[in-house]
Amino acid sequence: MAGNSRRQGAIRKPGTKKGQVVGSGGQRRKGLEGKGPTPKAEDRPGHKAYRMANARDRKDQARQKKADKPELIAGRNPVVEALRADVPATALYVAINIDIDDRVNEAVRLAGDKGISILEIPREELDRKTNRAMHQGLGLQVPPFQYADPRDLMAVAKDSGQTPLFVALDGVTDPRNLGAVIRSAAAFGAQGVLLPERRSAGMTAVAWRTSAGTAAKLPIAVATNLTRQLKAWKDEGLMVVGLDADGSVDIDELDLAADPLVIVLGSEGRGLSRLVRETCDATVSIPMAAGVESLNASVAAGVLLAEVARRRRLAGRV
């Protein structure tokens, strides 16, 4: 046995062959079959887009949870303006030992006339309730905002007897911009404002304060899908015009101003989303002096709405 050079491990068993067995039982064919279309990046758990989408969803859920809680409008002027505008309120908080002026007296009187509870609390507690905002000793508690249905906006426009004019926001996330847009919309004759359900500012105390109470006079609706709602309004005869720095026409050439109209404002950074831009019948830009890049959403909205109101007055469509 010592002279046998064959290794024991190399001995084959009788009836076996080296290499692949003939026939694979269909395994090769199955291996070559496609597995269907590749899922989108945001649907693949290991992808960065998936994690970012989940983070956005968690942020939206947190904002919605916060929106379900009462808000506090802080500051003497905002509180008085909100009370004058009949903003629904449940309590007026007055800091103990504050300096009394005409605004404090008016706030207390208006709250009493409306049957709103008036509570004196230590300044430290008011600091906490307002997240240390500049409250000047006054805070007005308002319940969660009650949004309208998009169909309600059309009903309001028809009841007004005026040519429909709505403002839609596409991804505006700053509540101060939202409040300012609502104020401009009310000032220039719009019958309602439309917000997307996701990735948008909501009617927080900051938005209430910036709107100076006009949010109580103007219906604000939420659309599950902004693009779908814009298309539905187009089917009802409205024209959709998006405000865009690279618009197809500038504001001086906006001949659609006197028609039933929806003005769409894009987000502060990205502007109009692709699907919304493709839905627009026209995009309009605002000519500006050289060296100025852009206006923020609320200022641009005020400029465009003022021009639409001017053209409607000339056309007798107000």
| Residue-range domains of the chain with CATH | 71-142 (3.30.1330.30), 150-315 (3.40.1280.10)
pLDDT tens figures, 167-189: 999 989 899 899 999 999 999 99
For 142-171, the pLDDT digits (tens) are 888 889 999 999 999 999 889 999 999 998
HEC sequence for the chain: CCCCCCCHHHCCCCCCCCCCCCCCCCHHHHHHCCCCCCCCHHHCCCCHHHHHHHHHHHHHHHHHHHHCCCEEEECHHHHHHHHHCCCCCCEEEEECCCCCCHHHHHHHHHHHHCCCEEEEECHHHHHHHCCCCCCCCEEEEECCCCCECHHHHHHHHHHHCCCCEEEEEECCCCHHHHHHHHHHHHHCCCCEEEEECCCCCCCCHHHHHHHCCHHHCCCEEEECCHHHHHHHHHHCCCEEEEECCCCCEEHHHCHHHHCCEEEEEEECCCECCHHHHHHCCEEEECCCCCCCCCCCHHHHHHHHHHHHHHHHHHHCCC
Instruction: Give this prediction's pTM.
Output: 0.68
Residue 231 has pLDDT above 50, yes or no: yes
Q: What is the pLDDT of residue 21?
A: 55
